[in-house]
A and B are shown apart, each in its own frame.
Chain A
């Protein structure tokens, strides 16, 4: 039972992480375009979140791990995902102000030698996109990144094979990531649109978190009775 719950949690965390990432691309593209800089920035934010999450999650897992605590991580991650649509526009505007921003005449101008064609070079998008990515997606990806080490700890507690336990959690979570990526890219973006996608991810995460908590209570009370 514990095993199924923990592996499900790993699967869902992987799927939700990538689903949020795909939603992130759709959220940011209208403001920043579909430049490779945008893709690079967002992917780095999610990978950075996973790294920090793994470090923090691993340390937390060593202090009295419990299924309900894993549930709490899910609830927190889901809550942040639910909140993203509320502040996304404000963050995007802040990172790259719209009307009233400098006119092309204030930008770098490179008059090329060939016939004096006047060419204005674009503003630097790297730091604004990275900034927007960090503000929007760092916290949820840190929280979801905590799941893998935490889940491994919960599983390995019940299993003698360390390598197999870590492998299972990591493999299942990566399969979840593939499902989340393909599902979102192929179907969900078209079915529900970007904002509902963020909200549904949030609801699934919160729902699963609550379920893990309930399960933990049920297991404990049964343990107490026996």
Chain B
């Protein structure tokens, strides 16, 4: 075959491949109205409106996972069930005064807190300045006296800050996974060290499927905190893991009662006490046959590919489930 002919075939092949890739990209596009689609330093950020459902959603990169969803008619409402489950952390102990959120997303939790708990001091750490801008321009996120945003890596912030918090909410996602340095025992212990006595951490975990990473991460929280709980957040596959500094277990009943008290006189737009009552799981005494993740040994990608060999039998705490 002559050289030009090889060249011609290569060009044809390249065009075919390019067309196929382009076609796939087109067919994968959502049926919503794209309001914003730009590369930031970290992601491709997309804001898509779904007028039929009255929602505006935030997407990062190629992940199909919804980072955030806003009800256009009521921007302060918590629309995604995982975010509703995270807020349950506020009802675990004393009424919190200082809260830290790692990972801004579409600012749904900050807007909710600004509206329902205006006196609460909220610090937000977000890596990507473009996400902060998108939240202001498209998600109705505006300043208020008790809220500040710090543009920084979450771990770097926690290591440097000397302030302590009543509640720390971890929701930092690089598109569809938590960056490995925010999964390890060193990180979880760092979070723990920035909690006030009796403080609470709630961490959002989302995976495409139930895999060994889930278990390893739950084990990591078990290793760091005296008491650990779960609230699986329904269909989406999100699991919220809660760790408390307090040695005393919070029973399902305690938590539900405190949630009912927290909601009194407020209109959350969802039933947080009902969510806790339905989903509550006590994790402290659950046997997990995975090693905790460490900075040195965190094979997160390998663990994500593997399903657990078996599900551990659910063993309640001694003396029955609290």
Contacts and interface: CB of A to CB of B under 8 A. Distances in A.
A33 B299 CA distance: 17
A226 interface: no
B151 A119 contact: yes
Given A34-B179, A115-B142, A190 B299 contact: yes
B35 interface: no
B151 A30 contact: no
A33 B155 contact: yes
B140 to A, nearest CB: 10
A32 B156 contact: yes
Contacts of A33: 127, 153, 155-156, 179, 181
A116 interface: yes
Contact of A30 (B41, B295, B302): B295
Interface residues of B, number: 40
A119 B296 contact: no
Interface stretch (B79-87, B157-165, B273-281, B313-321): B157-165
A72 to B, nearest CB: 31
A195 B151 CA distance: 30
A86 interface: no
B180 interface: yes
A224 interface: no
B121 to A, nearest CB: 12
A221 interface: no
Contacts of B149: 117-120
Sort chain A's interface into a size bin.
35 or more
Contacts of A35: 41-42, 127, 153
Contact of A117 (B143, B152, B301): B143
B147 interface: yes
A120 B151 contact: yes
Contacts of B144: 115
A161 B318 CA distance: 78
Nearest to B143: A117
A174 B295 CA distance: 29
Given A34-B179, A116-B143, A117-B149, A99 B159 contact: yes
B174 A34 contact: yes
Contacts of B127: 33, 35
B251 to A, nearest CB: 36
Interface string A95-111: 01011111110000001
Interface of B: 41-42, 127, 129, 132, 136-137, 141-144, 147-153, 155-157, 159-163, 174, 179-181, 184, 186-187, 294-297, 299, 301-302
